Structure 1
Amino acid sequence: MLPPRFPINAAQIDHVVALFYASVRRHEVLGPIFAAHVTDWPAHEAKIAGFWKKAILHEAGYDGNPMQVHMATGDVRGDHFAIWLALFDQTLDRALPGDTARGWSALAHRIGRGLRMGVEDLSRSTSAPPRLS
């Protein structure tokens, strides 16, 4: 089995996910978007914690396609990812030691760039060049 990408355990991941989504629900931009799509918060948080456990701890269990889900919503825009990542970084900084927060943040930003590009590609004119940064 592969070691974790950085020092963290499953309970810490669960804690960060819970804190983050508590902030999301109160957020003036992200809150309404998530509220339109998430009807069972505990199930959503468990699924997303499973995603992070797979990405960070290499645990089996998560089976999903985040790109497909975000592209299918119809109301997620590319600029939402900067807001999401800023809120996520604030949560990481509050909840975790510095090195762990920075490691998870780097991974989240890499994943967020890919998701943002997919969402933007969906809404971009076919004649427009792709946005690569």
Structure 2
Amino acid sequence: MTLSPDHPPESRRDAAKHRIETETGIDEAMIDRLVDGFYDRVRADTLIGPIFDERISDWGPHLAQMKLFWSSVALMTGVYHGRPMPKHLPLPVDGRHFDRWLELFRATARDLCPPEAADHFIERAERIADSLELGIAGANGVLLRKGERYVRPTEVWGPSDS
């Protein structure tokens, strides 16, 4: 189906969603399984699990939001209307945390999705991680160059005893 610029956005969005579903096999049920499986791994993880545990007491609403987010990201549905960057800026995370987040996400996608769908999810997750890491670095006064990673400075607690 070819759409002209004068078609309403819903028609273009529906066409894009249909194309992605056809090419990848992604549907809302797969997104639900991916989000649930991924956050099960996150909660059990010793590096990033505690960061989530300190901030999320009721996982139901968070998982529902993440399913809307991934529907919008993976299928271009437009159902998520949040602003992820401001929520991530105050987190005590750096490149190591994003590496672990991606490691868990890639493993979950590969375990739960067909290859085309996993690739589609992973490509988007990598862009999201890069964007969030860049934003967090910038908010902390660090301008990353291409290929550089953000490393959170160590806390200085007082004069050294040496």
Other-structure match for 2:15: 2
Other-structure match for 2:81: 63
Number of corresponding residues:
129
- Kindly provide the amino acid, as one letter, of the partner of residue 115 in structure 1: L
In structure 1, runs of 5+ residues without a counterpart are none
2:74–2:120 Cα contact (<8 Å) kept: no
Give the % identical residues.
33
| Cα shift readout 1:76-114 (whole Å, capped 9, x = no counterpart) | 223211110010000001000111101110111011111
**1:32-111 alignment runs, 5 A limit:** 32-73=50-91, 75-111=92-128
TM-score (norm 2): 0.74
1:117–1:132 Cα contact (<8 Å) kept: no
**1:116-131 alignment runs, 5 A limit:** 116-125=133-142, 129-131=143-145
SS of match in other structure, 1:108: helix
Separation (CA, whole Å) in 1 of partners of 2:29 and 2:52: 24
Separation (CA, whole Å) in 2 of partners of 1:30 and 1:94: 20
Task: Decide whether aligned partners of structure 1 residues 130 and 95 sit closer, same or farther in structure 2, where only a CA change above 3 A counts.
Answer: same
Separation (CA, whole Å) in 1 of partners of 2:59 and 2:35: 11
Separation (CA, whole Å) in 2 of partners of 1:131 and 1:108: 20
SS of match in other structure, 2:72: helix
Separation (CA, whole Å) in 1 of partners of 2:145 and 2:89: 16
In structure 2, runs of 5+ residues without a counterpart are 1-13, 148-162
Separation (CA, whole Å) in 2 of partners of 1:76 and 1:109: 16
Separation (CA, whole Å) in 2 of partners of 1:51 and 1:2: 19
Following superposition, the deviation at residue 117 of structure 1 comes to 0.6
Separation (CA, whole Å) in 2 of partners of 1:103 and 1:58: 12
- Kindly provide the amino acid, as one letter, of the partner of residue 66 in structure 1: P
SS of match in other structure, 2:15: coil
**1:2-41 alignment runs, 5 A limit:** 2-4=15-17, 5=20, 6-41=24-59
